Amino acid sequence: MIVHLDTVLKKVATEVKANNLQFPHKDKRILLSISNQIDQGQFLTENQAKLTLKIFKENIPEIKKIESTIESIIETNSWSKIFRLIQKVRKIYLSTEGENTVCIEFTYDKRLKEKLISLSHQVQGQISAIGARVYGVSYTEKNIHTLVGHFLREDFEIDDKILNFYYEIDKLLTSKNNNFDIFKTENENFKKIIESKVGPISSANAIKLNDQKIRYQYQIFEEIAATTLTEKIAVRKNTKIFIDESKVLLEDVLQSLKELDRLPILCILEGHTPKVNKKTLDFLHNALKFHNLTDNVGIYFRFDKTEDNVNFNSSVADYQFNKDLNDQTIVAGIANNKLPKFFLKSPWKPKTVISFTNNFKNNKSAVYCTDVDLVIYYTDKVLLTGDVDVIV
């Protein structure tokens, strides 16, 4: 009578769980996990079977205590069922929640995951995990070209819109003509769009043209002095910048944002400690009051009454920072650890993000802001990771 290896697995798992067999901790964890999977109605995959067999071979003396013929069973290599097949998924497509995110989805593959992670310093914004096997990047020309270029030969199913976009970008990049120089481009439709959004394509408007170059993906070689805070922000190379709160007043930051037409603003507060957030709230109120910008402000989180020993909640009401989010909102504030669901349904979108915490990354709030081309970390410590321009 043939003894199946999964039958042995069940016996081994029972004895291991009772500590009657001495297995290395890692092997014990793997065998128990696979055994539980079978109990839940999912048979092994071929790779799981190979791993189980390997562990058995390495622990024959222990298994012999409960199954004396384990060596011949291993040699027979018989299983009670056909191995479960895993559907191979490899897709690149636009997010169904809007066209601001490009999704790359694939069933687990260590090599593909390492390849994707290696692109983190080449893409604009962050590569964010938005599901068990789905990752997202901002929908920009550079990200399309980088992502598709690296995965085109990996047998991915790529959305036609993205693929056609990739070939257009690649054609332009390999062209000898510099089609992206805003002062030299011959694309009249593109020039009209930029003029309507940014203003005249002229040297007199060089600061704003520099400021919007990341958002609209053009190049500008018109040099500006970059001595003032406004100029330093405008000539940034990355979407994220750092401004030292101990060296620059928040009032001055707001002044520069007004000059660059960078309102409305989304403020990211620490969100955990009432005392810390109350200090930031007062700080923000004073700066907005200085610029007469307190009429349309909404702070969209509160603390439990039992925790709020510094009157954060009542201060929000006192400052009248409790306006609904709508087209008139000038400044919105949220907790770093929680994105209100109504933000996803609202057409409101910030032109600038000011984060009062360096922990603003790898969360839902950060994903929501991936298409914002100016994120200011206004703290006292420079971020140690990521592409961030240190302005002051």
pLDDT at 213: 94
**pLDDT > 70? residue 11:** yes
**pLDDT > 90? residue 332:** yes
Residue predicted with more confidence, 241 or 388: 241
Mean local confidence (pLDDT), 270-287: 96
Q: How confident is the model at residue 88 (pLDDT cuts 50, 70, 90)?
A: confident
Q: How confident is the model at residue 121 (pLDDT cuts 50, 70, 90)?
A: confident
Q: How confident is the model at residue 380 (pLDDT cuts 50, 70, 90)?
A: very high
Q: How confident is the model at residue 181 (pLDDT cuts 50, 70, 90)?
A: confident
pLDDT at 177: 63
pLDDT at 178: 63
**pLDDT > 90? residue 297:** yes
State the Cα–Cα distance between residues 167 and 157, nearest whole angstrom. 15
Mean pLDDT rounded to a whole number for the chain: 92
Residue predicted with more confidence, 173 or 331: 331
**pLDDT > 90? residue 31:** yes
pLDDT tens digits, residue range 203-240? Answer: 999 999 999 999 998 889 888 888 999 999 999 999 99
Mean local confidence (pLDDT), 51-67: 93
Q: How confident is the model at residue 179 (pLDDT cuts 50, 70, 90)?
A: low
pLDDT tens digits, residue range 104-120? Answer: 999 888 899 999 999 98
**pLDDT > 90? residue 184:** no
Q: How confident is the model at residue 261 (pLDDT cuts 50, 70, 90)?
A: very high
**pLDDT > 80? residue 175:** no
